[in-house]
Structure 1
Amino acid sequence: MSQTSPSESSSLADDPRRWIVLGVLLLAGFMNLIDVTIVNVAIPSLTRDFSATSAEIEWVVAAYILSFALGLLPFGRLGDVVGRKRMFLLGISGFTLGSALCGIAPSIEFLIAARIVQGVSGAMMMPQVLALVQVTFTREERGFAFSLFGVTAGMAAVTGPLAGGTLIAADIYGLVWRPIFLVNIPIGLFALFMGWRLIPATRRGAYQPIDFGGVLLAALTVLFVVFPLVEGRELGWPLWCFAMMIAALPLAAGFVRWERRRERLNKTQLLPVSLLTNRHFLLGLTMTAALFAGIPGFFFVIAIFLQVGFDFTPLQSGLTTVPFSVGVFLASLVSGRFGSSYAKERLVAGPLVLAAGMASLLFVVSTVGDGFDHWAFTAPLILAGLGMGTTVAPLFATILTVVEDRDAGSGSGALQTFQQIGGALGVALLGQIFFSSLGDATTADAYRSSFRAALFLQIALFLVLACLASRLPARAGEAKRAAE
């Protein structure tokens, strides 16, 4: 079942085109990441154009998140078997098609269906992105390569609202919100062409039966966690939301037992048991969920705080958060130069800097009046961005250290699944704290108080992340031995 032999991996690592390939992978990843946030800006326009209900609008966002999260693990594994380049090209083709369908959607139902196409295609594409980095670059180069993914993630978080606000305000040819999807078409076609020309083909693995039982159990587990997190707050957290999340525990246990059974029978596993039982890998997944519980939830809350509480336009709100990306960019460039050195130290320091950035933002929010200059947020957001940029590269590289090349797609799919679960959990928790504190109040002081309450949870999350990082092995060699 091995797909990439040691010699093949070495030839890929020696290919001079690998840095151009990385640019193509980053472009595809950026296109997917930005699509998660850019839609939020268009919600008022979508509501008006389609006379949509709040539930229908919610599903424009939820359909993408759910289909994306459900597909990451199975499509990651499928890339290990049928070829990562092939799966990446299929994914980016489908994502571009889905974007075109979104842009021409004649009804809200059609738009929701097109968002599912985008989500499934993104799930085909994204695990291959990290897996191709894993097998294309040497261990010494991966630190810098993953640092650029940190830059991409940070830029996408703030560029989505910024680009969405700009495109909607421009009202190109009277299309209002449609260009936020249509802009993906030329980008997707370019990435498809460059990927087809430049990404080296990896050999297909020997045929193995698909682990349909594992796919079903994994999908149900993710569904039972993500669906209530996405829907719960809007529905007032009915009992069935908590029942689903509790039911996810026996489903997860059943998945592990199923994979162990297939290992004993020498059959293909959706997620290799060697990873399921590796403490280092599981701790890394928990850290990923903790980190991404903080970041998407933060941008969700700060957008409401600025746009609703202080009447910022989407464009002004996006510009206010740009310093975060600046911090991510600067820290990622520095962090990448360390390669795999001092990974544990950076994984402890990064969340502490993030917590310090949120604490300084908490102080600033406590001192602003009913009207404030967006420049007041600059220093805290740069500091938080520095923490994020310091954390992402060593986190991804450290987690994937214990993943063999033949399982790179499966490992990457698991990592990104936990990233999505963390993001959904963070938005749900921070949103609940923010809106519970806000209640029916509409004053600037009420919004300040609610934002401060959310920031306290942010600080706690990043402090927990630093504590988890302190439990990691000090060196990559120790992590490798833990996998054996």
Structure 2
Amino acid sequence: MPHPASPPKGVNPWAATVLLLMGNFMNLIDVSIVNVALPSIRTDLGASETQIEWISAAYVLAFAVGLLPCGRFGDKLGRKRLFLSGVGLFTLASVLCGLAPDINVLIGARALQGIGGAMMVPQVMAIMHVIFPPEQKAKAFALAGVVISLGAVTGPLLGGVLISGNFYGLEWRPIFLVNLPVGLLVVLAGFWLIPRLESSRDMAIDWWGVGLFGLAITLVVLPMIEGPLLGWPWWTLVTLVAAIPVGALFLRRQHALEAEGREQLLPMVLLRDRGFLSGVAVVMLHFSAIPGMFLVLAIYFQTGFGLTPLESGVATAPFPLGIMLGSYVTGRFGTRALVGRVALGAAVMLAGMIWLRHAAGHPPADLGPGTLAGPLAMNGLGMGLAISPLFQLVLRDVPGRIAGAATGGMQAFQQIGAAIGIAIVSSLFFVRLRVDQDHAAAIGHALSYQISVFAAILTVLALRQWRGDRWAVTP
């Protein structure tokens, strides 16, 4: 397999990256910003509990299902074109959300947002993978790691500010309308600053594979969303089991296409490479830990100790500050010691999660926004140290022709990991909370998952190093 294509000449990769990450950031904060607004939306639109739940579920499902196909569409149709189209669709859907006259329109617009997000997100890292020379990729991926991590914690903070301000009497609607100027800026500037890269227009799209992959992802993600809220009824377990034969059919089809010399939705060369699969497994584990942690922390701060949504957002601010520091440090190492830097980040997060579990489980009577600053900053530092080298490990030798498929596949499994993590962590939290309404004991119970995750990541890294296996796609 050939190595990645050389960076295009006459391109300012940093200007393009700023716009790419601005588009990505809009998508990232929309995942979490909505949670702060759900009570206001329910009151304003008279929504039921099920309808409120689907404001988030419609977005997550559409986004997860579309990531891999849209990554491949970018390889065929052009990544710049698909990114800008995705930003445009996401922005339009955001306006529809902000102007929604009833809950059904809002749910439909959220699904449209998810499709727009799936169109643009895989192109971000696929374009960055091609436009940067190897010696600059570490800093670029470090910056991407900062943006990805900031998205998890900026949403609640920004949502708290916008809702508390009640600008022009719009209540919750500005959390969506704020995307309009950002999206327009990215689209207009992107036409000039994002380079037009070579595409594979002769590539055939595997529509049967698209359908099987979408069904398999739905069969996994849907019960992970619904299960914790409904008490895991029988159909959620049946749905999860049904994902296994559907996934097997998808893989069988990809094998058959390769044998016939035809293009695959998820290239089999990636699925045969143990290094790539190990890297994706670590990505999936890593990102299964963070969204669930912030979900239970928001409940812990607001319901358990009476903090406002804005105070809750401020309480998590040390996490992105730690990320910035960790990303700055790791970005200076370039492509050196990638596995060691991922391991260091995981070890720091393991220690940070143990500290957070102890501190949150034994809170002072006057708990405030700064009480958990130390362990949250330490966890942010670990994440900042790990994200850039982790992405480099997964993508460093992926050829430019299949970069969209590789990044789309990686991010699809990242979303699956997030859904699984939220389901597990929320279940652990609420099972313990029902015993005696002790939020401190409940969060200690829930954070056991995060501790197990980072211990597992360190184990995977140690086994890969001990076996001497490569982490990149082999030629």
**TM-score using structure 1 length:** 0.95
Give the match for residue 443 of structure 2.
451
- Deviates most, 264-273 or 135-144: 135-144
Give the match for residue 225 of structure 1.
220
CA distance in 2, matches of 1:476, 1:416: 26
Residue of structure 2 aligned with 1:156, choices 124, 136, 151: 151
Give the match for residue 415 of structure 2.
420
Query: Does the CA-based 8 Å contact 1:38-1:164 persist in structure 2?
Result: yes
Relative to structure 1, is the Cα distance of residues 474 and 200 closer, same or farther in structure 2, using a 3 angstrom cutoff? Answer: farther
Other structure's SS at 1:439 match: helix
| Residues 246-272 of structure 1: per-residue CA shift (max 9 Å, x gap) | 121222222111101001111110010
Query: Does the CA-based 8 Å contact 2:279-2:471 persist in structure 1?
Result: no
CA distance in 2, matches of 1:454, 1:477: 34
Query: Does the CA-based 8 Å contact 2:361-2:443 persist in structure 1?
Result: no
Matched, 1:179 2:204: no
Give the match for residue 100 of structure 1.
95
Give the match for residue 329 of structure 1.
324
Relative to structure 1, is the Cα distance of residues 453 and 61 closer, same or farther in structure 2, using a 3 angstrom cutoff? Answer: same
User: Which letter maps to 1:387?
Assistant: G
Task: Give the superposition deviation at 1:16.
Answer: 4.7
Other structure's SS at 1:302 match: helix
Matched, 1:62 2:53: no
Query: Does the CA-based 8 Å contact 1:344-1:474 persist in structure 2?
Result: no
Matched, 1:470 2:465: no
Residue of structure 1 aligned with 2:76, choices 70, 77, 81: 81
Give the match for residue 118 of structure 1.
113
| Residues 144-176 of structure 1: per-residue CA shift (max 9 Å, x gap) | 111111111221111100000000000000000
- Deviates most, 362-371 or 426-435: 362-371
Query: Does the CA-based 8 Å contact 2:23-2:87 persist in structure 1?
Result: yes
Query: Does the CA-based 8 Å contact 1:41-1:161 persist in structure 2?
Result: yes
Other structure's SS at 1:471 match: helix
Alignment of 1:66-465 (within 5 A): 66-439=61-434, 441-442=436-437, 446-465=438-457
Matched, 1:36 2:20: no
Identity within the alignment, %:
43
- Deviates most, 170-179 or 279-288: 279-288
CA distance in 1, matches of 2:49, 2:334: 47
Q: Cα RMSD (Å) of the superposition? A: 1.8
CA distance in 2, matches of 1:55, 1:174: 26
User: Which letter maps to 2:463?
Assistant: R
CA distance in 1, matches of 2:287, 2:338: 19
| Residues 29-65 of structure 1: per-residue CA shift (max 9 Å, x gap) | 1111000000000000001001100100000000000
Query: Does the CA-based 8 Å contact 2:3-2:398 persist in structure 1?
Result: no
- Deviates most, 213-222 or 324-333: 213-222
Query: Does the CA-based 8 Å contact 2:21-2:144 persist in structure 1?
Result: yes
User: Which letter maps to 1:124?
Assistant: M
User: Which letter maps to 1:329?
Assistant: M
| Residues 77-105 of structure 1: per-residue CA shift (max 9 Å, x gap) | 01001100010011000000000000000
| Residues 96-154 of structure 1: per-residue CA shift (max 9 Å, x gap) | 00000000000000000000110001000000001001111112211111111111122
Aligned residue pair count = 475
User: Which letter maps to 1:154?
Assistant: S
Return structure 1 stretches of 4+ with deviation > 3 angstroms.
471-480
Task: Give the superposition deviation at 1:233.
Answer: 1.1
Give the match for residue 48 of structure 1.
43
Query: Does the CA-based 8 Å contact 1:154-1:325 persist in structure 2?
Result: yes
CA distance in 2, matches of 1:449, 1:310: 13
CA distance in 1, matches of 2:329, 2:420: 30
CA distance in 2, matches of 1:400, 1:95: 26
Q: Which runs of 5+ in 1 are unaligned?
A: none
Relative to structure 1, is the Cα distance of residues 36 and 24 closer, same or farther in structure 2, using a 3 angstrom cutoff? Answer: same
Other structure's SS at 1:203 match: coil
Query: Does the CA-based 8 Å contact 2:275-2:470 persist in structure 1?
Result: no
CA distance in 2, matches of 1:118, 1:447: 34
Query: Does the CA-based 8 Å contact 2:139-2:332 persist in structure 1?
Result: yes
Query: Does the CA-based 8 Å contact 1:90-1:124 persist in structure 2?
Result: yes
CA distance in 2, matches of 1:75, 1:16: 24
Relative to structure 1, is the Cα distance of residues 283 and 478 closer, same or farther in structure 2, using a 3 angstrom cutoff? Answer: closer
Residue of structure 2 aligned with 1:15, choices 10, 14, 17: 10
User: Which letter maps to 2:330?
Assistant: S
Query: Does the CA-based 8 Å contact 1:142-1:339 persist in structure 2?
Result: yes
Task: Give the superposition deviation at 1:469.
Answer: 2.2
Task: Give the superposition deviation at 1:477.
Answer: 10
CA distance in 2, matches of 1:367, 1:328: 25
Task: Give the superposition deviation at 1:285.
Answer: 1.2
User: Which letter maps to 1:145?
Assistant: A
**TM-score using structure 2 length:** 0.97
Task: Give the superposition deviation at 1:364.
Answer: 1.4
Q: Which runs of 5+ in 2 are unaligned?
A: none
Query: Does the CA-based 8 Å contact 2:349-2:382 persist in structure 1?
Result: yes
CA distance in 2, matches of 1:62, 1:289: 19
